[in-house]
C-alpha cells in the first residue's frame, strides 16, 4: 500500500493492499463504490448485530438528532441516557445497579479498572493488584493493554504498562491450574480485581472455555474478597448464545463492561455497570472520593437513542431464535472440517465459530494472514483472520445461503494460499 494520509488501525501500510472503499451497507452485506457486494462475515469488527442500517435503529437516530445532538453529561442529563440506564439494569445480571457511560470497549474496561482501584482506596483497604486471564485482550489504552496479553500488540509500550498477574488460560484438562493460580494470586490479600472475557477470548485467538470454570473463577474471587470484572464488550448482545455470557455460568459480576453491539453496532457507545457497593464507596461529602473519569461525548443522546432501539429490537423481534438458528447452521458447516487435514480445532460458541489453518508459522503474525484476507475478499466475503485463526461472527440476519458462501471460501483457502506462495 502506498503512503496514505489516513492511518488505518492494525494495518501495516508497507505490506497490505489498498483498503476497500465501502459506500453502502444493508443487512449482512456491504457494497463498494464500484457496486461490488461483500458479505460482512465479522460484523464489521464484531459490532453489527441485527444487520447494517436496521430500520428501527436508523429511525431512532434520525428522530433523536432532530431533538438533541449533544450535551455535556457533567451537571446535565437527558431522557435517552436515563431510560437506557434503567433498561440496561433490567436486562443485566442481577445485582448491578449503576451505569457509567463512555464511548468504546477500551474506555469501558479502563473505567472498570479505575472503579475497582477507587473502590478499595475509598474504603481504606490496600488492595492494588489486578489479575487477568492469559491471552486476554481488553483494549488499547494504557490500562487495558496492561490487563491484556503482552506481546506484539503492546511491546513498544511496555515502559508505560503496570504489572498485572496473568492467570493461565483454562485449556481442556488443565482447568485446575487456572483456578489454583487465581487462588494463589488472592492469598496475600492485595488482589483488587480479576478481569476476564467470559467464555471466549476474542483477539487472543477465539479461545473457548467452560461456564463451569467461569463460575468457579467468580467463587475464587469471592473467597478472597476481590472484585470480578466481566469484559462483555465482545461476548455480550447474544454472541455466545445468550444476551450476556455470564448468564450461562449463573454469575453476576461486580463490574460489567459492554460496548460494540450496545447500539446494534450503529454508533459508538459503551457502558460500565457496577454494584451499589462500588458506587457507594465513591458517594461522599468528601469531593476527593469523586470518580474522576470522563469523555467529551459521554452518554451522547443520539448514541443512547440507538441503544434504546437495539434493546427494543431484542424485545420485539425473535433475536434469540435467529441466534440459535445461526448456531445450528454453523455447526453443520464446521462438522465438514473435522476430517480436513488442512485445519484443526474447529470450535463454536453461540454464533461465533473458529478453526485454525495449519501453517508452519502460526500466531498473530502468521505469513498467510494477508493472503487469507485477499482470498476471502476475492470471493466477496469480509473475514479478518487472527493470524492463522479463521473465525466467523456474522450479523444475526445472515441466511443459510450467506453462510454457505463463507464456508465454501474457507474450504478453498488452503489451495489458494498454496498457489499464492
**DSSP assigned state of 389:** E
For the record, the C-alpha cell of 354 comes out as 473458529
Q: Where are the domains of the chain?
A: 57-316, 320-420
Query: What pLDDT does residue 324 have?
Result: 98
Q: Strands 381-382 and 98-102: what pairing?
A: unpaired
Q: What is the rounded distance in angstroms from the CA atom of residue 177 to the CA atom of residue 170?
A: 7
Query: What pLDDT does residue 1 have?
Result: 57
Query: What pLDDT does residue 78 have?
Result: 98
Secondary-structure class of domain 57-316 per CATH:
alpha beta
- Choose among 261, 256, 251, 149: nearest CA to 210: 251
Supply angle C-alpha 275, 276, 278, rounded to 5.
75
DSSP string, 193-215: EEEE-SSEETTTT-EE--HHHHH
Q: What is the rounded distance in angstroms from the CA atom of residue 237 to the CA atom of residue 419?
A: 39
Average pLDDT, the chain: 96
For the record, the C-alpha cell of 10 comes out as 492494525
What would the pLDDT profile of 190-214 be if each residue is shown by its tens digit?
A: 999 999 999 999 999 999 999 999 9
Low-confidence spans in the chain with pLDDT less than 50: none
For the record, the C-alpha cell of 386 comes out as 487472527
What would the pLDDT profile of 76-86 be if each residue is shown by its tens digit?
A: 999 999 999 99
Q: Residue 321 burial (CB < 10 Å; 0-12/13-18/19+)?
A: exposed
Of 3.90.1150.10, 3.30.230.30, 3.20.20.150, 3.40.50.2300, the CATH number of 320-420 is 3.90.1150.10
Query: What pLDDT does residue 152 have?
Result: 86
Query: What pLDDT does residue 153 have?
Result: 84
* DSSP element (H, E) containing 86: helix 79-91
Query: What pLDDT does residue 266 have?
Result: 98
Q: What is the rounded distance in angstroms from the CA atom of residue 353 to the CA atom of residue 355?
A: 7
For the record, the C-alpha cell of 229 comes out as 470484572
- Phi, psi (degrees; rounded to nearest 5) at 322: -65, -40
Query: What pLDDT does residue 421 have?
Result: 56
Give the SS3 label for residue 57. helix
The answer to whether 169 and 135 have CB atoms below 8 angstroms apart is yes
For the record, the C-alpha cell of 112 comes out as 472498570
Q: Strands 389-392 and 343-349: what pairing?
A: unpaired
Q: What is the rounded distance in angstroms from the CA atom of residue 118 to the CA atom of residue 231?
A: 18
For the record, the C-alpha cell of 128 comes out as 492494588
Amino acid at each position: 500500500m502506498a503512503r496514505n494520509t489516513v492511518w488505518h488501525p492494525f494495518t501495516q501500510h508497507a505490506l497490505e493492499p489498498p483498503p476497500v472503499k465501502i459506500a453502502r451497507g444493508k443487512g449482512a452485506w456491504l457494497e463498494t463504490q464500484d457496486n461490488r457486494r461483500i458479505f460482512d462475515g465479522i460484523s464489521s469488527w464484531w459490532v453489527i448485530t441485527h444487520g447494517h442500517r436496521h430500520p428501527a435503529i436508523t429511525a431512532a437516530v434520525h428522530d433523536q438528532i432532530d431533538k438533541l445532538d449533544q450535551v455535556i453529561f457533567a451537571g446535565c442529563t437527558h431522557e435517552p441516557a436515563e431510560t437506557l440506564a434503567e433498561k440496561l439494569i433490567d436486562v443485566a445480571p442481577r445485582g448491578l445497579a449503576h451505569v457509567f457511560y463512555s464511548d468504546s470497549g477500551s474506555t469501558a474496561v479502563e473505567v472498570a479498572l479505575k472503579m475497582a482501584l477507587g473502590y478499595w482506596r475509598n474504603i481504606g483497604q490496600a488492595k492494588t493488584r489486578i489479575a487477568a486471564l492469559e491471552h486476554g485482550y481488553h483494549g488499547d489504552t494504557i490500562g487495558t493493554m496492561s490487563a491484556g496479553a503482552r506481546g506484539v500488540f503492546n511491546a513498544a509500550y511496555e515502559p508505560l504498562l503496570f504489572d498485572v498477574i496473568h492467570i493461565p488460560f483454562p485449556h481442556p484438562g488443565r482447568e485446575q491450574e487456572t483456578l489454583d493460580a487465581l487462588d494463589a494470586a488472592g492469598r496475600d490479600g492485595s488482589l483488587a480485581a480479576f478481569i476476564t472475557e467470559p467464555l471466549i477470548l476474542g483477539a487472543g485467538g477465539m479461545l473457548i472455555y467452560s461456564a463451569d470454570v467461569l463460575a468457579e473463577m467468580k467463587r475464587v474471587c469471592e473467597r478472597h474478597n476481590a472484585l470480578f470484572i466481566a469484559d462483555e464488550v465482545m461476548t455480550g448482545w447474544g454472541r455466545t448464545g445468550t444476551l450476556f455470557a455470564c448468564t450461562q455460568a449463573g454469575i453476576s459480576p461486580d463490574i460489567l463492561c459492554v460496548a460494540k453491539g450496545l447500539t446494534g453496532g450503529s454508533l459508538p457507545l459503551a457502558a460500565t455497570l457496577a454494584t451499589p457497593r462500588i458506587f457507594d464507596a465513591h458517594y461522599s461529602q468528601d469531593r476527593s472520593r469523586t470518580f474522576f473519569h470522563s469523555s467529551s461525548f459521554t452518554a451522547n443522546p443520539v448514541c443512547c437513542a440507538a441503544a434504546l432501539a437495539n434493546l427494543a429490537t431484542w424485545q420485539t423481534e425473535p433475536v434469540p431464535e435467529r441466534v440459535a438458528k445461526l448456531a445450528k447452521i454453523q455447526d453443520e458447516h464446521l462438522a465438514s472440517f473435522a476430517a480436513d487435514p488442512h485445519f484443526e480445532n474447529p470450535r463454536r460458541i453461540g454464533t461465533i465459530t473458529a478453526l485454525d489453518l495449519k501453517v508452519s508459522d502460526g500466531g498473530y503474525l502468521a505469513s498467510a494472514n494477508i493472503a487469507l484476507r485477499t482470498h476471502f475478499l476475492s470471493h466477496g466475503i469480509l473475514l479478518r483472520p487472527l493470524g492463522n485463526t479463521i473465525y466467523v461472527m456474522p450479523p444475526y440476519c445472515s441466511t443459510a445461503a450467506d453462510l454457505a458462501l463463507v464456508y465454501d471460501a474457507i474450504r478453498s483457502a488452503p489451495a489458494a494460499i498454496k498457489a499464492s506462495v
